[in-house]
Chain A
Amino acid sequence: MKILVPVKRVLDYNVKARVKADGSGIDLANVKMSMNPFDEIALEEAIRIKEKGNAEEIIAVSIGVQQNQETLRTALAMGADRAILVVATDDVHNDIEPLTVANILAAITLKEGPSLILCGKQAIDNDFNATAQMLSAKLKWSQATFASEIDVKDDIIRVTREVDGGLQTIDAKIPAVVSVDLRLNEPRYASLPNIMKAKRKPLEEINPADLGVEITQRLKVIETKEPDSREAGLILENIDQLVEKIQENVGG
């Protein structure tokens, strides 16, 4: 079995996001970027599945700017076998939207023939939480989202999902698209020998046109702004005061 893992290059989770002066988005020039943490978890799971002998190859894919190859090198150092970079834009501020990403991934899937696609449930920059779902629809494959536990047995993947009411366990038939949640695993660090070996692993660079996909942006960002700053709270003496405050503010 081959596993495909899409990895997105996003603003590092430790970096404080700054809104661009014209409000058109977040300033991404000269800031630290790294692999979307949910994608890291997906990749770690793929590596574990391979280590258990349930997969032969892991292909990491990244869609975006040329610099995404840094993210793919990290994926290769962690344990992906090869990587595909889809150069879809030359502007780091141009966020490729989920439907386009799903179209590109579907085309790559047809070309590479993986039977399992492991995705992060969402990217920490735009929080769409849509690509995995759209991709499974495009491919007409089974889907399981928000996985907190995964077990592959022959052509069945058992996925424990984190849903609002608790945990739900489902069996999905492979081929499948699975999106992973935070508690699935703790991703490993790339060791130095593996970082050095990653240099020699294949990284193929292609354009969306090579896949017959056109980059179309249907969504428009109207405005990006800082969240309103929180006002100071009040410490009340007793419940009566609380009730009074609620009545004052809500009108009882």
Chain B
Amino acid sequence: MKNPFDTPEREEFRAQLKAFVDKEIKPYVNDWDEEGKIPWDLHQKAGALGVWGFGIDEKYGGLGEDDNFLRAIYNEEFAKCGAGGVGAAMGGRMISLEPIQRLCSSEIKDRVLKDIVTGKKGSSLGITEPGGGSDVANMKTSAKRDGNHFVINGSKTFITGAMTSDYFVVGARTGGSGLKGISLFFVEAHRDGFSRVPLDKKMGWWCSDQATLYFDNVRVPAENMMGEEDKGFIQIMENFNIERMCMCASSLGMMKVCLEESIEWAKTRETFGKPLIQHQVIRHKLANMSSKIDALEALVNNICWNMNNGEVPVAEISKAKFFATKELEYCSSEAMQIMGGAGYLRGNPVERIYREVKVMAIGGGSEEIMRDLAVRQMGY
């Protein structure tokens, strides 16, 4: 079936990414995941493809325009490498780049933006705190003005890419309680009083790092405050919509891997005198998986089109996010059932994707928060 939103450029971008993932990632991904890291030159190779240039000015090495379909294609095709940790290890940029370009001073942008876009340096967004993940309004990290500086105190956790990032966009309280008292700060990793500790072993995303950040009287120049004082979180709320749409696209890529691996296995594995794929019970599983993939794909396309046309369909994005992860859970579980014992062995993409469902269902807005947000958007 033709995708009505395809253009020659989008198709070409997808083809290039597919070739890149097949050649530069897939053959090594299992080793990287076991080792717990990806080589830094992958950041630079991906940067050279231009995958972090969406909405970034050309003078900083960006694309000079934005297209949510291209963002979705990037997330879907990278997810097809079969290890979510690869995208996560590099993807801290995705959620911190746009705020840096939009809200940082030109001095900071000239100094850092190109290096981040080209994959030479890493950046992360630090919002979540040890005291509460989804409860951002309750943020405890503080920033107090001291002459021409701000002094930051507090901690952040579950920050993706943080062990290797050079730059951070950090939320800290400058005003009263609630979302309206939070400002954003650009913090370089070399600042005195900044330290980081990697999170211990995780269920999935092994080849990416997540860390806890500590700010112990970290002094940053006042010009490192990004955008308006006390309006930090509100200024980047729209970015969470893009992040969630991208996570839907990643889930889509993972679901497609589950289906493809299931089909490949079912074609060759014989039971009771015929290939698995000839058994009705297996055929029904494949049909169900495939229909869910079609549904999510149509939904993601529709959301991308709306976002490209200036809409911010918060309710639909929220619903898509938990729909995507519930269906990912279904597809990875069914793929495991089809593969049986072979799927249970470590080192195959289905086993890994099965373990990575939860980071998708919890991270970037948990399924529960997404449902609540959707109903709130419905007016209740």
Which chain A residues have a beta carbon within 8 Å of chain B's beta carbons? 14, 34, 70, 73-74, 77, 189-196, 198-199
Contacts and interface: CB of A to CB of B under 8 A. Distances in A.
B16 A199 contact: no
B46 to A, nearest CB: 10
Contact of A74 (B12, B49, B58): B12
A196 B65 contact: yes
A190 B12 contact: yes
Given A34-B15, A70-B8, A77-B12, A196 B49 contact: no
Given A191-B49, A193-B50, A198-B9, 20 more contacts: A14-B22, A34-B15, A70-B12, A73-B8, A73-B12, A77-B16, A189-B16, A189-B48, A190-B12, A191-B16, A191-B50, A192-B53, A192-B63, A193-B58, A193-B64, A195-B9, A195-B12, A195-B13, A195-B16, A196-B63
Contacts of B282: none
Contact of A191 (B19, B22, B48): B48
Given A196-B63, A196-B65, A190 B9 contact: no
B225 to A, nearest CB: 31
Given A34-B15, A73-B12, A192 B20 contact: no
Q: Which 10 A-B pairs have the closest CB atoms?
A: A192-B50, A191-B50, A189-B16, A193-B50, A195-B12, A190-B16, A191-B49, A189-B20, A195-B9, A193-B63
Contacts of A34: 15
A193 B53 CA distance: 8
Interface of B: 8-9, 11-13, 15-16, 19-20, 22, 48-51, 53, 58, 62-65, 70
B319 to A, nearest CB: 29
From A193, A195, A198, name the one whose CB has the most chain B CB atoms within 10 angstroms: A195
A192 B13 contact: yes
Contacts of B11: 70
A73 B15 CA distance: 12
Nearest to B10: A195
Contacts of A194: 50
A23 B291 CA distance: 35
A70 B9 CA distance: 10
A194 B22 CA distance: 21
Contacts of B62: 193
Contacts of B51: 192
A194 B65 CA distance: 13
A33 B84 CA distance: 29
Contacts of B49: 189, 191-192
A74 B48 CA distance: 16
Nearest to A194: B50
A39 to B, nearest CB: 15
A74 B12 CA distance: 7
A15 to B, nearest CB: 13
A198 B11 CA distance: 13
14 contacts: A73-B12, A74-B15, A189-B16, A190-B16, A191-B16, A191-B48, A192-B13, A192-B50, A192-B63, A193-B63, A193-B64, A194-B50, A196-B65, A198-B12
